[in-house]
Amino acid sequence: MSVLTVGPGKQFATLSAAVVASHDSDTIQVQAGTYTNDFATINTRITIEGVGGMVNLVATVPPPNGKAILVTNTDVTLDNISFSGAKVADGNGAGVRYQSGNLTINDCYFYNNQDGLLAADNPSGSITINNSEFSHNGAGDGFTHNLYVGKVGTLTINGSYFHDAVVGHEIKSRALTTIIENSRIIDGPTGSASYSIDLPDGGKVVIRNNIIEQGPASQNPAIIHVGGPLYAGTSVQISNNTIINDLHSGSARAVLNQTTGPVSFTNNNVYGLTSSQISNGPAMMSGTTFLTTEPTVYTNHPWQTGTVPPDRLVAYLSEDAGAGNAQFIVSVDGKQIGPAQTVTASRQAAQAETFSFAGSFGSGSHTIAIDYSGGTSTAAQHLYVVGIDYDGQHYAADTATLLRGGVARFAVGSAAETPPGNVAAVIGHT
């Protein structure tokens, strides 16, 4: 296990030379700057990270491998790197071409490539994307996209920003499991993307806590597409998102489901769509809120701070199975954060549902209140708080069992507190 350094005056002048010299478990630290036509195929299990700022890998000629700036054939982690300019004769040049293994991408930027990231089939592999941005990728032919993932085992996207795909899709996934959460998927005023999310083979899909905006120049009236033939065990859950239609077309739909099985569309906020424009195809719909004012969409880079709410609260909850659904309200220091949310995860089945909230709550300690607001007489008897996260810190002992009308309060964020936190008060009544 070694650390290899790249940059002026370092061990290696180029990333490609360091990759050739690397061994499994090595870390390659690349000094911030621009590295032009520095192409590599990676066959060792390594981490490549930008140091002192972002590393810009720029292609001004076709990569000689005919595929991408970086090609990954094993477990690789990429941190703080941008990829731009990848073009090949076949028309599908990518910032990164994934071929096998487990690929993790953190704080990276893919722009102005024929494909941002292009992934081959590998059902035993995984791709995880955190706090990264994909923009203006696509050759304009409809076959290239900001992100195109083949039949991998799991694709996970969290806290990322996809926007302005050129004619192709913002996200296209054939993964057996696709999880997209806490992200922004935005066409913008001039983006010409087709689908915001394309799931041509279904799979086990969770689309949760995102802002998804279809722009006025979109190539397709549908925002989320589910196609077939489907993988066995397909289930598509679309929940707690804000979905914005700026296409201003009567044919616009939040979901185009071209299969015989229903998608689950629960507790989403929608703008610019009527109740008849939620789904074209089978769907189980509940808890939709129709907004009359278009929400603000942040357009900052996801790795930047100061232009989006800096604090994030994540609550993990479940309820009694088969007894109806529990609704709850979250507040921070007495101020309600967002609308009421509905829990569907079953405690008896050992499930927990994730709910994310963002805001500028300030430094120091805070009191988080989770209020089981009750709902109808058929609502779950109990609401269970399984744990909470605050600004990346997990408070595993912050648990509570609430009856309808009960409130649990938790202390978080204090520099003096040693997690797990503590329940300050739990009150319940029928």
211 and 135 in a common domain: yes
254 domain residue, yes or no:
yes
C-alpha triplet 158, 162, 165: angle, nearest 5°: 155
153 and 91 in a common domain: yes
97 and 196 in a common domain: yes
Least confident of 14-23, 142-151, 211-220, 375-384: 375-384
Given this model, what pLDDT does residue 421 score?
A: 34
* CATH assignment at residue 380: 2.60.60
Tell which wins on pLDDT, 276 or 324: 276
Given this model, what pLDDT does residue 419 score?
A: 34
327 and 209 in a common domain: no
Least confident of 190-204, 331-345, 414-428: 414-428
Given this model, what pLDDT does residue 375 score?
A: 62
**pLDDT of 98-124, one tens digit each?**
999 999 999 999 999 999 999 999 999
* CATH assignment at residue 104: 2.160.20.10
**Residue 148 and residue 119: Cα distance in Å, rounded?**
6
318 domain residue, yes or no:
yes
46 domain residue, yes or no:
yes
* Ordered DSSP codes for 312-343: EEEEEEEE-TTS--EEEEEEETTEE-SS-EEE
Which one-letter amino acid corresponds to residue 218?
S
Cis peptide before 216 (omega within 30 of 0): no
315 and 286 in a common domain: no
Least confident of 60-64, 193-197, 245-249: 245-249
Contacts of residue 76, Cβ cutoff 8 Å, sequence gap at least 6? 42, 45, 46, 47, 48, 101, 102, 103, 104
Tell which wins on pLDDT, 174 or 294: 174
**Residue 371 and residue 339: Cα distance in Å, rounded?**
12
Q: What backbone torsions phi and psi does residue 235 show, to the nearest 5 degrees?
A: -145, 135
Average pLDDT, the chain: 89
- Specify the number of domains making up the chain: 2
pLDDT at 139 over 80: yes
Identify the sign of the CA torsion 304, 194, 105, 200.
positive
106 domain residue, yes or no:
yes
What percent of the chain lies above the pLDDT cut of 90?
Answer: 64
396 and 248 in a common domain: no
- pLDDT category, 416, cuts 50, 70, 90? very low
Given this model, what pLDDT does residue 423 score?
A: 32
- pLDDT category, 159, cuts 50, 70, 90? very high
- pLDDT category, 250, cuts 50, 70, 90? confident
**Residue 27 and residue 273: Cα distance in Å, rounded?**
48
170 and 120 in a common domain: yes
338 and 258 in a common domain: no
Which one-letter amino acid corresponds to residue 264?
S
Given this model, what pLDDT does residue 118 score?
A: 98
248 and 317 in a common domain: no
Contacts of residue 304, Cβ cutoff 8 Å, sequence gap at least 6? none
Residue 200: C-alpha distances to residues 218, 258, 393 (Å): 18, 9, 36
Start-to-end C-alpha separation, the chain:
59
162 and 27 in a common domain: yes
Which one-letter amino acid corresponds to residue 399?
T
Given this model, what pLDDT does residue 427 score?
A: 28
Structure tokens at 349: 């089945």
Tell which wins on pLDDT, 428 or 67: 67
116 domain residue, yes or no:
yes
299 domain residue, yes or no:
no
pLDDT at 418 over 50: no
185 and 56 in a common domain: yes
C-alpha triplet 393, 412, 427: angle, nearest 5°: 125
235 and 100 in a common domain: yes
pLDDT at 304 over 80: no
- Which residues pair with residue 189 across a beta bridge? none
Least confident of 15-24, 145-154, 281-290, 350-359: 350-359
Mean pLDDT of 306-318: 73
305 domain residue, yes or no:
no
Range of the domain at 360: 311-427
**pLDDT of 81-99, one tens digit each?**
999 999 999 999 999 999 9
300 domain residue, yes or no:
no
- Which residues pair with residue 311 across a beta bridge? 359
Given this model, what pLDDT does residue 396 score?
A: 66
- Where a domain ends, among 291, 322, 351? 291
pLDDT at 415 over 60: no
